[in-house]
């Protein structure tokens, strides 16, 4: 995976960003993320609080990821399985 798509979250840090539009009926697109951590303990401490927000007929997905470990972690945001490169 491209290093341009990787985002570092410091220990105790949080990453929050609007991903894009979201259709409640089809549940598309599918937003997700992949985590690379130093070990299994750090991986378990990454918390996904991502959610759907918005009003009727105008929903969007918001990534909200917390690193509760004591080491940095790296995430790669994905949309329908493809990496999302940050602007």
SS (H, E, C) 25-79: CCCECCEEEEEECCCHHHHHCEEECCEEEEECCEEEEEEEEEECCCCCEEEEEEE
Count of the separate structural domains present in the chain: 1
Going residue by residue through the chain (87 aa), what tens digit of pLDDT does each one get?
A: 456 679 999 999 999 999 999 999 999 999 999 999 999 999 999 999 999 999 988 999 999 999 999 999 999 999 999 999 865
C-alpha closest to that of 19 among 80, 63, 51, 81: 63
Residues facing residue 82 across a β-bridge: 79
Quote the DSSP letter at residue 23.
Answer: B
Taking the whole predicted model, whether its pTM rises above 0.85 is answered as yes
Residues spanned by the domain of 15? 3-83
User: CA–CA separation, 69 vs 19, rounded Å?
Assistant: 24
């Amino acid at each position: 995976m491209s290093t341009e798509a990787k985002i570092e979250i410091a220990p105790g840090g949080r990453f929050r960003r609007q991903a894009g539009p979201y259709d409640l009926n089809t549940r598309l697109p599918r937003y997700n993320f992949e985590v690379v951590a130093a070990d299994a303990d750090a991986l378990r401490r990454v918390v996904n609080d991502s959610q759907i927000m918005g009003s009727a007929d105008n929903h969007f997905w918001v990534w909200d990821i917390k690193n509760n470990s004591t080491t940095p972690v790296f995430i790669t945001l994905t949309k329908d399985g493809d990496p999302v490169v940050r602007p």
